[in-house]
Amino acid sequence: MLGIRQKLSLGFGGLLAVILTIGLESVALFSELGGSIDVILRENYRSVIASQEMKEALERMDSGMLFTLLGYQQEGVDLITKNKTVFLKAMNSELENITIPGEEEKATHIQKLFNQYEEAIESVTQPEIPHEARLEAYFHKVLPLFQLIKTTADEILNMNQQNMSDANQEARIKSQAARQRMMILLVVGALLAALFMLLTKKWILRPIAGLTLSAQEIKSGNLDLYILSRSRDEIGTLAQAFNEMAAGLRESRRVDRANWSHMKRSTELAFKVLPEAVAIVDKEGVVQIVSDTATEVFGMLPTEKINSPIFHGMVELFNEAISTGRPAEPNKDQYLIQRFVNGKEFYFRPKVVPVLDNYRHPTGVIILLTDVTLEREQNEIKRGVVSTVSHQLKTPLTSIRMSLHLLLEEKVGPLSAKQLELLIAAREESDRLHTILERLLNISRIESGKTNMELKSVRPHELVFESIEPFRSAAVDRGLTLEVQLPDDSPEVSADPVMVSQVFANLVSNALKYTGPGGLIRVFAQTTDDFVQFSVSDTGRGIPAQYLEKILQHFFRVPGQTTESGLGLGLSIVQEIVEAHGGTISVESLESEGSVFTFTLRRSDRIFEEKAKYD
């Protein structure tokens, strides 16, 4: 039984034999035709040229003799001498190129006649001979020899032209015969190629097509197929390997299904006892497994879809996790999900974690609903304590500050220098304590939503310039450059000017505090689709990378700062104000290079468009 290699060798070998035959035949044909053409171009053509040159030179010599007879002796002699050389050269060329039978006798005859012609020329061109004798010699000696030489040269010319015509005809006959042989070989080659193509289709293409269909069936999940192949070549071996592979896949599928079924049951049992509300959702958004807590609190059931009202607020997180392949979760309390269970209020924070395959492509998600009720209650208690303590301390602190004020004005008696120094220090500390209490109260009001913000449309230029104007003199005193860069076409923003002024005040004052002389503080803005983005950058000392995530937290201060730098509440207030406006704040910084604080405020025109859409 022939294998694929032998079959291909047989088919391609036949084609190769046809190609070699055609090639060798072509080489032989071209060689033969080349020989014929060589006869035409090399041998006969040279004799034709020599005969023509002899005739032309002879005619010019005859003209030279006529010149002498007419009295132009010198001109005639020069013409005869010049063309005599040409004639002799052409005659010698002909004598050296004898190729046709009879050509040599005629060339030798021309040589003898020309010798006689040369002697006769003397009797015509000598000026001392009488004119009548010269005329007699020309017409009775020279002219007959001229005619004989010219006639003989014509005979040689005709002989070579006839031979060229015969060679050309012979070449045509050979070319026609070769063309017929080539056509026969091409027909034979085409038939062999067609036969090989048919055999290739039968031997190779059909079995491969069958294997391709089988592979597609396996791809679609049909592992129960069996490929029947009667061939014992490589295709048959491959078909047998396919059958063995399908059998192995069937066994692997059986084992995987058993393991998957076991894992599913184990997972479902584990989910039953989970205290958290958890749901596994596939890539299409269909719930696969849920914990008892998720069913009890949220009413989640298997086969439920993510676009169900039960999952309100989680669809965006699901889409984000599937598209990015990273966990998605809200970061503020307003995104908490409120539920009442047995008459008691609970709060849950959703988190969507993608399940990735080996190629890190999402195949589904896990929805975690963490109970943050206790955390929220603790935050409420903390806010209440801070607010209460701040209010309770504010009244006695006001009395203390008033008393210190009266004492310093010496309303109750004169003070010594030491007493004055102590009272001034006490006043400064009481003022500092008053600032801390005010900031704590501000944070408490903003977090609780009790701050009344008067939102209105404000031009960014007006907002920025009014906010930073008080800091220009301080920048000059410190040797700093305070620069503002705002696009002229910046749209209006929705903001409370008083509160946003606090944002700029905190950011610019921090930049002044941590930037050395000669530095640059720049306030700039750019517009996005829904927001105007404001930035305050400086060339100061910067913030170490490990503290960037904590810099906006309450009471956080970068280690190594003096007590004069504050208690770490300024940036917390900035964050609360910005987020209360519906914006975000971020910070970028490199040590010894400076920091950039960026926050966003909503565009007024976009807010109006949204209202018009819902109205």
Contact in structure between 318 and 366 (CB atoms under 8 Å) = no
Equal CATH topology for 378-448 and 456-614: no
- Rounded Cα distance between 318 and 321, Å, is 5
Q: pLDDT tens across 305-364, in order?
A: 887 877 777 888 888 888 888 888 876 555 677 778 777 788 788 888 888 887 888 888
- For the beta carbon of residue 531, count every other beta carbon within 10 angstroms: 19
pTM: 0.41
Q: What value does the mean pLDDT take over residues 524-546?
A: 91
Show the tokens assigned to 514.
């941590």
Give 66's DSSP letter.
H
Q: What are residue 349's DSSP bridge partners?
A: 370
- Rounded Cα distance between 54 and 148, Å, is 13
Give 336's DSSP letter.
P
Question: What mean pLDDT value characterizes the chain?
Answer: 78
Q: pLDDT tens across 14-72, in order?
A: 666 767 776 676 666 666 655 555 555 566 788 888 888 888 988 898 888 888 888 88
Backbone angles phi, psi at 488, to 5 degrees: -65, -25
Q: How confident is the model at residue 292 (pLDDT cuts 50, 70, 90)?
A: confident
The distance of Cα 544 from the centroid of its chain, to the nearest Å, equals 37
Q: pLDDT tens across 181-230, in order?
A: 778 877 877 787 777 777 666 666 666 666 677 667 666 666 666 666 66
**Domain spanning 274-335+347-371: which superfamily?**
PAS domain (3.30.450.20)
Kindly list the domain boundaries of the chain, sorted by start residue.
Answer: 4-196, 228-270, 274-335+347-371, 378-448, 456-614
* Amino acid, single-letter form, for residue 95: L
Backbone angles phi, psi at 551, to 5 degrees: -65, -25
Show the tokens assigned to 324.
């990015």
Please tell me the class of the 378-448 domain.
mainly alpha
Q: What value does the mean pLDDT take over residues 71-77?
A: 87
Backbone angles phi, psi at 303, to 5 degrees: 75, -5
The CATH code of domain 456-614 reads 3.30.565.10
- Rounded Cα distance between 282 and 304, Å, is 11
Contact in structure between 228 and 214 (CB atoms under 8 Å) = no
Proportion of the chain above pLDDT 90, given as a percent: 11
Q: How confident is the model at residue 448 (pLDDT cuts 50, 70, 90)?
A: low
Query: Taking the CA of residue 349 as centre, how many other CA atoms within 13 Å lie in the half-sphere pointing to its CB?
Result: 13
User: Who contacts 163 (Cβ-Cβ below 8 Å, separation ≥6)?
Assistant: 39, 44, 99, 100
426 against 561, higher pLDDT? 426
Q: What are residue 376's DSSP bridge partners?
A: none
- Rounded Cα distance between 491 and 473, Å, is 29
Torsion sign over Cα 394, 395, 397, 402: positive
CATH of 4-196, one of 1.20.120, 1.10.287, 2.60.40, 3.30.1490: 1.20.120
Which of 67-76, 166-175, 266-275, 538-547 is the least confident region? 266-275
